[in-house]
Amino acid sequence: MNSTTAPTAGALDHTFTATLTQEPGKGGWTYVRMEGSAAFFATRGLVKVSGTIDGQPFTSSFMALGDGTHKLPVKAAIRHRLGKHAGDTVTVHLDQRLPHPTPKEHQMSPTKTHIAGIRAVSIPVENQDDALRFYADTLGFTTLRDAPTPAGGRFIELAPGHTGVVITLEPAAPNVTRGAIGIRFITDDADNARAALVAAGVDTDEILRWPGVPAMFSFRDPDGNAFSITEVA
């Protein structure tokens, strides 16, 4: 039996069949697309779910594509177990919509100035077109918004993955200083993440592994902005 509208969190019973699609470019996601997902989940944002793909259990997040549908990345490990590749059809069964974890810091009382949290972080870039191609095409981030501003610029937002924080690509101010790591991304597999970036030609450092510290490595965008990627369980 399939649900017609999903709860905000809790049990689901929804099944759909879709074709595995490979994003262009090295390191691109392999995913399935769910038609009518924005209406089903009642959101165009990220949706964390669990279920099975051809009987294999998974936990992942749907990412909005901006047209009323979402894509669901399918990890290489699951594809290998199924013997499935891009172009093959799989059956996805959703059994839970999971709440997004809330850091303990965000469970405090509202501030007296009504500031409730962090929505986005900005990255200074010299050319927004070039930067958008790097972050969307090379890194595979999802473009959430690319809208003109009254002053003749553009307001660009991208989602780097399954978290709620987004990034914006801002025209760099004169004499902006770069080099220090100010944004730290996360991954569930540091080795695969680094391999994908290296294959895409991204300026990437070796993985650091210290006792009691999660694996991490740094990389830089074409503007020289430095970032870190940390492996989380």
Q: Is the pLDDT of residue 107 over 60?
A: no
Give the pLDDT confidence of 186-228 residue by residue, as tens digits. 888 888 889 989 988 999 999 998 888 889 999 999 999 999 9
pLDDT of residue 6: 62
pLDDT of residue 233: 58
Average pLDDT, the chain: 84
Domain 10-98 in CATH: superfamily?
AF2212/PG0164-like (2.40.30.100)
- CATH 2.40.30.100 in the chain is located at 10-98
Give the pLDDT confidence of 6-49 residue by residue, as tens digits. 666 789 999 999 999 988 765 567 899 999 888 898 887 778 89
pLDDT of residue 15: 96
Other C-beta atoms closer than 10 Å to the C-beta of 190 total 20
- CATH 3.10.180.10 in the chain is located at 120-231
| Domain 120-231 CATH assignment equals 3.40.50.720 | no
Give the pLDDT confidence of 144-160 residue by residue, as tens digits. 888 888 877 888 989 88
What band does 1 get if pLDDT is binned at 50, 70 and 90?
Answer: very low
DSSP state letter for 175: T
Partnered with residue 220 across adjacent β-strands are 203, 226
Confirm if 193 and 229 have CB atoms less than 8 A apart: yes
